[in-house]
Every structure is written in C-alpha cells, then in structure tokens.
C-alpha cells in the first residue's frame, strides 16, 4: 500500500504519495500538487527537491558516504582503475576481465580527434582559458560526428558515449599544449588512459617521454574520485540540456560551462591559492582567527561541503596520494606542510567541529596537480575530463527513463502585477 503525506493548505488538505529509494531519505511525490491544489513548491537551489530517480551515485553527507553503483569510493580508489570505474558507471556493474579489455580497447581506438578540429584551437588567443577552449571544441564535436547524434538510437548513444570519454583527454591536452606554444602530441595506443593523457600533455617531439607509474596512479585516482557526484550543478545542467533532446556533445559542453564556475569545479584552485597565501605553518593561527571573524571576508577554502557534513571520504584518499606524489618527486613544498597543519588544527578546533567544516577533496587535489606540473588554469579542465564519465552515464540514464520530461522549473513571481501601457508622452 502506498504511503501518503498530508499537506494542510488554507483551502484544504491534500494527500501526496511518499516514495522510497533503495537507501536514503524518502521523497514526497509532488508531481500532481499544482493540478490538485493550484500551488507550487519554492526551493531555491533545489536543496530539498529530487529532480530524477537515479541508480548511479549515492551520497550520505551526514555519514560521509559516497557510493558508485553501491561501491564505496574508498574501495574503488584503492583497488580499481579509472577505466574500470568508467565501465561501472556507464554499464552498471563491475566488468569481467574480457569486458574490461574490450572496453579499454574501444576507448583507446577513439582517442584521436578529427584533424580539422585542430584548426579550432588556432582561433583562440594563446592566453585563452582551457575551459573556454573545452566549451567550444566539445560543442563542435557534433559538427564532425553526425553518425552519433541521434539520441533515439541506442547504438549511436553508445558510440557518442565512447567518443566523449575517449576524446576528452586529447582535447584537454591540446588545450594545454596550445597555451604553452608547443606542438600537439598524438595519442599512443600502447599506453593506459591516464598515461596517454600525461604523455599528450607533457611530452615534446625532441625527446622521449616515460610515464612515471606513481604519477600515473595518482592522476588515475584523482579521475576516479571526480568521476561522478550525484545531481550536482554541472550534472543537473547536462540532464536539463538533454531533456530538450539536444545532442550529447552539446549537453556535455553545457556541463563544462557550468563546471567552470569557481563555486563548483574551480574550488581546488581556490584552495591552493589560499594555502599559498598562508605560506608558512606559523601563519595559520592568524588566518584561522580571520575565518572565525564574521566581519572578515576571508574564508578557508577546501573546508566544508554543500552535501558532506562529515569528513569527505575522498579527502583521505587524496591526502595519502599527495604524500606519495610529493615523496616521489622529492618536492619540499611548504604548502603541503601548511595543508597538514591546517587540517590538524581545524579537525581539533571546536569552531570547525561545531560547524562541521571538514577538509574536502579540493583541499589536497590542487597540491597534487601543481606538483605534477599542471598550471592552475588546467585544474578545472582535468575535473571536466574525469566528470565526463559521470555526465555520460547520467545522460544515458535520463534518455532511457520513461518518466523524464523536458525540464521546466516554476517560479515565485515577485514583479509588478498586470498594468496597462502608458504612452511615452504621458509618463
């Protein structure tokens, strides 16, 4: 028997169905509320609204839990690989060895981009932000791959999914190469997904490039940790764009544009800049005092999260990875000392404990990427590269959901009521 929630309104009482997922909070089904009661719900930021039913990612912010298809992110980061996680998110289950081998083979053979696409890069200034280039180039893919834009054809959707996952490292690496004035490096099918990206980014024709396995593994973990994160701003943007029937390349370009925002994908860059501003561990107390001062605009970046009210499960993995990378590269960076001391103080300070301001994934990821050699302008582009897997999985799930309709949020209108036009001479 369906459970019902009673809603008391000034003009009567209404009953609405209560739906339960496999885990997580129940939801009140308000789809018929407007028709029955002539009222809307008001929820800026959609913080209390479920816009879809999804079986891909689950987050319990209070418990600090993040699951991909039911698997804890910590287990996947430790034991799996990004390609295996990509298969899991897009196909729904962990692959057998044969399935993974076929998937990797397919992705590897789609990494090259159309030669004419390279001309797009020359239209940008050399100092263009990589995300500006990514938005334009990814959106332009639909002009080159007409055989995978029919969203009603499952085969074309699969081809488009593979193309997007495969070509994003090539597109991101080319954006970096263009910014530094170096020649583009073509993909190498003998390398892993992550190793190939490192080579396309940092190799030059004048000398051989050997992929460092420690760096390769660290970046692979970063990709895994960023592959999906439920219905965040950019994922919701991809879903909203796709609800109109737009082609997958346009939808992912829309996701990239949303991810570009400093409140979303640019958070790790902001955290790194903050650590650099602090500079030395002995300066931490004065910055913590500023963070506690309500009249001071300074905020500790990389702490707290819109969803997590506990320790971000990705942050611990990222902290261990940062140590591995800095040890391997023999980086004596005081920024890492600042990060560790700031984390220690914040986790023991009553102010941060009370407000549940725990370190999140962005706190350490910027340190790792900087140590590897990526400029801060590339941080969000790397985020987009990894998140493409999640966007593709969410896009495919939405297309196959018979209950989904074109997105059309309502509003609480606070403008002028109806009024008549007044001729300019009478105003």
Dihedral (Cα; 32, 56, 363, 352), 10-degree rounding: 50
Which residues, 6+ apart, have CB-to-CB distance to 214 below 8 Å? Answer: 324, 325, 328
Least Cα distance to 197 among 174, 226, 229, 224 occurs for: 174
Local confidence band at 1 (pLDDT 50, 70, 90 cut-offs): low
- The residue that leads in pLDDT, 273 or 169, is 169
The DSSP letter of residue 11 is: T
pLDDT-derived band at 268 (thresholds 50, 70, 90) equals confident
pLDDT level of residue 384 (50, 70, 90 thresholds): very high
* 107 pLDDT above the threshold of 80: yes
8 A C-beta contact, residue 339 and residue 92: no
Residue 308 has pLDDT above 80, yes or no: no
Q: Is the dihedral of CA 356, 361, 367, 370 positive or negative?
A: negative
What pLDDT digit, counting tens, does each position of 152-204 carry?
A: 999 999 999 999 999 999 999 999 999 999 999 999 999 999 999 999 999 99
- Residue 305 appears among annotated catalytic residues: yes
CA distance 215 to 197: 12
Q: Taking 90 as the threshold, does the pLDDT of residue 418 lie above it?
A: yes
Cβ burial of 404 (10 Å; 0-12, 13-18, 19+) is middle
220, 228, 312, 362: which one is catalytic?
A: 362
Q: Which of 110, 162, 229, 305 is catalytic?
A: 305
Encode pLDDT of 13-63 as tens digits. Answer: 888 899 999 999 999 999 998 888 889 899 998 989 999 999 999 999 888
160 touches 249 (CB < 8 A): yes
Nearest CA-CA partner of 410 in 37, 44, 2, 140: 44
117 — phi, psi (to 5°)?
-65, -25
Would you state the pLDDT for residue 306? 67
The 3-state DSSP class for residue 27 equals strand
pLDDT at 427 over 70: yes
What is the three-class DSSP state of 200?
A: helix
Query: Which pLDDT belongs to residue 98?
Result: 98
Is the model's pTM score more than 0.85? yes
Residue 12 DSSP SS3: strand
Determine whether 362 is an active site residue: yes
HSE-CB of 403 using CA atoms within 13 angstroms: 6
151 alpha-carbon distance from chain centroid: 23
pLDDT of residue 320 exceeding 90: no
pLDDT tens digits, residue range 284-298?
999 988 988 889 988
- Round to whole Å and give the CA distance between 342 and 346: 6
pLDDT of res. 346? 79
Q: Give the pLDDT score at 334.
A: 83
Checking if the pLDDT of 68 tops 90, the result is yes
Question: How confident is the model at residue 179, as a pLDDT?
Answer: 92
pLDDT (average), residues 262-275: 81
| Interatomic CA distance for residues 319 and 296, integer angstroms | 29
CB atoms within 10 A of CB 4: 13
Strand ordering across the sheet containing 57-60: 57-60, 65-68, 71-72
Q: Strands 12-19, 65-68: parallel, antiparallel or unpaired by DSSP?
A: unpaired
Average of per-residue pLDDT across 67-90: 97
What is the Cα–Cα distance from 266 to 58, expressed in whole angstroms?
A: 23
């Amino acid at each position: 028997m369906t459970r019902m929630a009673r809603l008391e309104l000034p003009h009567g009482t209404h009953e609405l169905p209560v739906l339960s997922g496999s885990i997580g909070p129940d939801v009140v089904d308000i789809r018929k509320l407007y028709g029955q009661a002539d009222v809307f719900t008001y929820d800026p930021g959609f913080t209390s609204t479920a816009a879809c039913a999804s079986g891909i990612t689950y987050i319990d912010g209070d418990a600090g839990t993040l699951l991909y298809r039911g698997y804890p992110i910590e287990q996947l980061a430790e034991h799996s690989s990004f390609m295996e996680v990509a298969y899991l998110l897009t196909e729904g289950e962990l692959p057998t060895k044969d399935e993974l081998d076929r998937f990797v083979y397919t992705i590897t053979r789609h990494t090259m981009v159309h030669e004419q696409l390279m001309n797009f890069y020359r239209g940008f200034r050399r100092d263009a932000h990589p995300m500006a280039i990514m938005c334009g180039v990814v959106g332009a893919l639909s002009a080159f791959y007409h055989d995978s834009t029919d969203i009603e054809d499952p085969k074309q959707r699969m081809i488009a999914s593979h193309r997007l996952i495969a070509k994003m490292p090539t597109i991101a690496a080319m954006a970096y190469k263009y910014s530094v004035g170096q020649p583009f490096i073509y993909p190498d099918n003998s390398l892993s997904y992550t190793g190939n990206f490192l080579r396309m980014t940092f190799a030059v024709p004048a000398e051989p490039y050997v992929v460092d396995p420690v760096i390769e593994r660290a970046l692979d973990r970063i990709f895994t940790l960023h592959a999906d994160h439920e219905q965040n701003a950019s994922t919701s943007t991809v879903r909203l764009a796709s609800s109109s029937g737009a082609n997958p390349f346009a939808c992912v370009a829309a996701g990239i544009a949303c991810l570009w925002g400093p409140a979303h994908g640019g958070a790790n860059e902001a955290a790194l800049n903050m650590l650099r501003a602090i500079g030395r561990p002995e300066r931490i107390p004065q910055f913590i005092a500023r963070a506690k001062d309500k009249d001071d605009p300074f905020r500790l970046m990389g702490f707290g999260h819109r969803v997590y009210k506990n320790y971000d499960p990705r942050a611990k993995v990222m902290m261990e990875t940062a140590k591995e990378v800095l040890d391997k590269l023999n980086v004596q960076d005081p920024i890492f000392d600042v990060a560790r001391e700031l984390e220690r103080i914040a986790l023991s300070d009553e102010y941060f404990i009370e407000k549940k301001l725990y370190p999140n994934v962005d706190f350490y990821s910027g340190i790792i990427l900087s140590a590897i050699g990526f400029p801060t302008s590339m941080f969000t582009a790397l985020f987009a590269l990894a998140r493409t897997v999640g966007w593709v999985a969410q896009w495919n799930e939405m297309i196959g959901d018979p209950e989904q309709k074109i997105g059309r949020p309502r509003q609480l209108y606070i403008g002028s009521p109806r009024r008549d036009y007044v001729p300019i001479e009478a105003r």
